[in-house]
Amino acid sequence: MLLIKIVVGLCLVLLLAVCELNAAEKQEREARVKRGDPPKNSAAPSWVKNDGWLSKIKWRNGDNCTSWTTRLFDTKYGNGNYAKGPDNEYNKTQKDCVRGGLAIQRE
């Protein structure tokens, strides 16, 4: 019986610690939004910037970030052979383009 009480007590302590961490993360995220900082995980993958892809796939007249990112990923992976959901390379690259984090060369 004593062992059960100890285990329950430890679980409560861990639960409170996790709740405090979540509250601190939420406050930090809200402060970042107020400052206008982009989310931490929005940077494009390193291969986009470091492997010469920015010079290979140039910005065309009438392009927007979505069409440019689609051409980039179609060239690298094949037509539509990549995931487009949240927290994927495509989405991060597209967001980084919109926020001005990519130095895309114009044709």
**Structural domain contains residue 73:** yes
**Structural domain contains residue 78:** yes
Do the beta carbons of residue 53 and residue 47 sit within 8 Å? yes
Do the beta carbons of residue 96 and residue 102 sit within 8 Å? yes
Indicate the number of domains in the chain.
2
Task: Compute and round to an integer the Cα radius of gyration of the chain.
Answer: 22
> Does the pTM exceed 0.85?
no
Mean of pLDDT values over 1-8: 79
- Predicted local confidence at residue 39, as pLDDT: 56
Do the beta carbons of residue 106 and residue 55 sit within 8 Å? no
pLDDT in tens, 40-96: 556 788 888 888 888 888 888 888 889 999 999 999 999 989 998 888 899 988 888
Query: Same domain, yes or no, for 13 and 27?
Result: yes
**Structural domain contains residue 32:** yes
- Predicted local confidence at residue 6, as pLDDT: 85
pLDDT in tens, 11-41: 777 766 666 656 777 777 677 666 665 555 5
Query: Same domain, yes or no, for 86 and 65?
Result: yes
